[in-house]
A = this chain, B = another copy of it.
């Protein structure tokens, strides 16, 4: 229950890298994870004071953390009424996936011609790690690796702002993916897609790769929307 003790100073003594994250950073990361995992539900009001005692800090860093998540679009503030976890309409979920499609195909298109052998190997490594988490059914880790793999495919594009934007979008929809992904329906074709994406990159087949990518994201979107629609009437 308790998230004790200043995650702040857990570095080994004598180790150089003195944990440079600020308290609000650490807390924001943790709360974000709790939102994405579904522990903090949609529309649920967030009590700053409660979180403050949980993390054993004052309300100030909590507020900053929440403000950050507000900026990321994961929670929403109402003046003098505090923060609640955002709730996206199906239309908005669809929009998020469409934006991802645009951004990712653009990035992939720019990236493929510039990918080095090292880039390809890095992707391969992530792909294999991801396949392990398929099998062990570790949804949380799979989600993280999935994001990371996609970003690795686009790293050679060297488009920091786009990548940052994409990361934000992923945070937005990750929650829904996780909520429904446990159903497992969609994961086999996705698995094949992921491999094919890397293959196309290797062969420098730009248009073919982008087509697969577009299909990949749009299919995920479609399946997700169907699952949401099914679950809606409760």
Contacts and interface: CB of A to CB of B under 8 A. Distances in A.
Interface stretch (A94-102, A136-144, A183-191, A209-217): A94-102
B161 A95 contact: yes
B161 A79 contact: no
Interface in A38-89: 63-64, 67-68, 70-72, 79
- Interface range on chain A (Cβ under 8 Å from partner): 20 to 34
A99 B67 contact: no
Contacts of A7: none
Nearest to A71: B71
A103 B166 CA distance: 13
Copies in the complex: 2
A160 to B, nearest CB: 7
A22 interface: yes
Interface in A91-145: 92, 95-96, 98-99, 102-103, 106
Nearest to A22: B79
A16 B92 CA distance: 32
A5 interface: no
From A99, A103, A106, A160, residue with most partner B Cβ within 10 Å: A99
A15 interface: no
16 contacts: A21-B79, A63-B64, A64-B64, A64-B67, A67-B71, A71-B71, A71-B72, A92-B160, A92-B161, A95-B160, A96-B161, A98-B106, A99-B161, A99-B165, A102-B103, A102-B106
Given A64-B64, A67-B71, A98-B106, 17 more contacts: A20-B79, A22-B79, A63-B64, A64-B67, A67-B68, A68-B71, A70-B71, A71-B71, A71-B72, A92-B160, A92-B161, A95-B159, A99-B161, A99-B165, A102-B102, A102-B106, A165-B165
Interface of A: 20-22, 63-64, 67-68, 70-72, 79, 92, 95-96, 98-99, 102-103, 106, 159-162, 165
